[in-house]
Amino acid sequence: MKISCVILTMGNRVAELDRAVVSAVTQTDGDVEVVIVGNGADVPQLATASPNVRTVRIPANVGIPEGRNHGVRECTGDVVLFLDDDGWYATDKVAAHVRERFSAEPDLAVISFRVMDPEGGVGQRRHVPRLRAGDPQRSSPVTTFLGGACAIRRSAFLQVGGLPGRFFYAHEETDLAWRLLGEGYRIEYDADAVMYHPQVPPTRHADFYRLNARNRVWLARRNLPWPLATLYLLDWILLTVIRERSHLAIKSWFQGFKEGLTQPAGERRPMAWRTAWRMLRLGRPPIV
């Protein structure tokens, strides 16, 4: 079972990118194919030289999901690791662990990795993709995953059409996860597959609130039966109003919400009610 690693870069984190590449090509299981995608930027010259590393350049920044889709089309692995260019694998045994799991579990579509703070901090709650996130060292089935810290069965990824490129940033992993669950696949949060990543808030992105809201609406419109879509969106309106204290953040969020309602969301393939029931049994119904 061949393993590929897709790394997106804007070309502005050279030392971090080199560290990420080293952590992939020095895996003890060997021969991990690394595809570095320059997302609207040239891939910088790296200190690491390896025949297993290839680079491709996309002329314009097409966003995270479409950039990763491009990387999957370029690579040849049976399993694809997605790695942020400022992250790196904690040990050289990650590829061996991933290969063993995917070889033994044909219904496993995604492994979401445990993300650790390199400075020794407690980590971020959002890095554990379940509602009960208090114990990051506990593995469990989940209904979504971390896009920059995961391994995906390539055939399953292609079967459901990959990531939704129009999303650009935010919730693209959940869209893919829901479609994989609808096809009967499993998604696992695996605490034994560990990567390091600096603690950075998602709100550092200028369009975070707008894209977060727009893509939530698109997620519901694309994937949920209408009764669940309505509950899902009402739930997130309520949570946002309660949680956010910034008038500008709330204004930007509702601007994105309006865009999600008025702009094309892409192909609608509502999940079966049995999939929604399965998600409920996994602890995260598709209204949260």
Torsion of CA 273, 274, 280, 281, to 10 degrees: 170
- pLDDT at residue 131 tops 90: no
- Confidence band of 126 (pLDDT split at 50, 70, 90): confident
pLDDT at 29 over 80: no
- For the chain, domain boundaries: 3-200, 203-281
Average pLDDT of the residues of the chain: 94
For residue 129, the one-letter residue type is P
pLDDT tens per residue, range 157-187: 999 999 999 999 999 999 999 999 999 999 9
Class of domain 3-200: alpha beta
Residue 79 confidence (pLDDT)? 98
Q: Which of 162, 148, 133, 155 is nearest to 66 (CA)?
A: 162
Q: What is the pLDDT of residues 203-241, one digit of tens each?
A: 666 699 999 999 999 999 999 999 999 999 999 999 999
Structure tokens that stand for 230 in this block:
């309505």
* Identity at 3, one-letter amino acid code: I
pLDDT recorded at residue 203: 60
Model confidence, pTM: 0.95
Give the residue among 174, 279, 157, 178 at the shortest CA–CA distance from 216: 174
Q: What per-residue confidence (pLDDT) applies to 251?
A: 95
| 8 Å CB contact between 1 and 79 | yes
